């Protein structure tokens, strides 16, 4: 059974820092991996999608990498800003179902 | 701009009531999903649909049913609401006929349901 873990569960950093969020999964037979952002009480906003054949994707200050063989993905946020404060979730797709991690709650201090 | 909409942001119902949550997407997506999100448990899949009139059980289907009469609309039904169904309900959709062609999953804003 696929399990997705995100470490750390919470993170507090000063503005301007570069940071890395981690996502690990137990079954490497995935079709894609997606990173989301969730603000309190809101739905999920898609940030990046990495297909299983890809190694990384970039969008602005965000870069996500995927290593299927080791069951890991990282989300790199460059030059963090207070507006980046949110919960970040990863989800892996296998057998028609997405399995989500429980998220990393990020707070960027001004 | 792609969009997934849900019929209500907040809903309060009584125990035993039949509850309908509606989700509409305007992206002509084949696949639609209903999740619930609870603190400490994350997102859990209730039901999904990969085509009109098709449905598949997710991980926690008990106490729920779904309907997909049109491609753009996916409804979640709580047959007899109970207090343990108090939760945030999230709808999502994605294109792609098979898993290896699935694209981004887009979410609606969520419905916060309280059952008293």
State how far the Cα of A107 lies from the Cα of A30, in Å rounded to an integer. 30
Question: In 3-state terms, chain B is what percent helix, strand and coil (to 5)?
Answer: 5, 50, 45
Tens digits of per-residue pLDDT, A71-104? 999 999 999 999 999 999 999 998 778 999 999 9
Which residue is it, tokens 């200050």?
Answer: A61
Tens digits of per-residue pLDDT, B39-53? 888 899 999 998 898
Interface test with A, best of B30, B49, B107 (most A CBs within 10 A): B107
Residue A40 has pLDDT above 80, yes or no: yes
Positions in chain B whose pLDDT score sits under 70:
1-2, 97-101
Confirm or reject contact between B105 and chain A (CB < 8 A): yes
User: Does residue A11 sit in helix, strand or coil?
Assistant: strand
Q: In which element (H, E) is residue A72 found?
A: strand A72-77
Searching chain B, which residue's CA lies closest to the CA of residue A104?
Answer: B42
Residues A49-72 as b/e (b if ≥16 CB within 10 A, e otherwise) read bbbbeeeebeeeebbbbbebeebe
Which residue is it, tokens 């993170």?
Answer: A11
In this predicted structure, what is the pLDDT of residue A97? 83
Query: Which residues of chain A are within 8 Å of residue B90 when distances are taken between CB atoms?
Result: 43-44
Query: Strand (E) positions, B7-105?
Result: 10-13, 19-25, 31-38, 42-49, 56-57, 64-70, 73-78, 87-94
């Amino acid at each position: 059974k696929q399990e997705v873990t995100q470490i750390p569960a919470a993170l507090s950093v000063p503005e301007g820092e570069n940071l890395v969020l981690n996502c690990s999964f137990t079954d490497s037979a995935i079709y894609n991996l997606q990173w989301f952002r969730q603000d309190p009480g809101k739905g999920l906003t898609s940030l990046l999608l990495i297909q299983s054949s890809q190694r990384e994707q970039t969008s602005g200050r965000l870069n996500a990498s995927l290593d299927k063989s080791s069951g890991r993905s990282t989300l790199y946020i460059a030059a963090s800003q207070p507006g980046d404060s949110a919960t970040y979730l990863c989800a892996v797709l296998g057998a028609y179902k997405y399995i989500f991690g429980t998220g990393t709650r990020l707070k960027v201090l001004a | 701009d792609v969009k997934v909409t849900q019929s209500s942001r907040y809903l309060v119902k009584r125990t035993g009531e039949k509850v309908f949550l509606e989700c509409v997407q305007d992206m002509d997506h084949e696949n639609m999903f209903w999740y619930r999100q609870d603190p400490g448990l994350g997102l859990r899949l209730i039901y999904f649909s990969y085509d009109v009139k098709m449905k598949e059980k997710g991980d926690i289907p008990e106490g729920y049913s779904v309907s997909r009469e049109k491609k753009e609309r996916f409804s979640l039904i709580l047959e007899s609401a109970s207090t343990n169904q108090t939760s945030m309900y999230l709808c999502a959709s994605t294109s792609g006929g098979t898993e290896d062609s699935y694209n981004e999953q887009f979410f609606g804003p969520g419905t916060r349901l309280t059952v008293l």
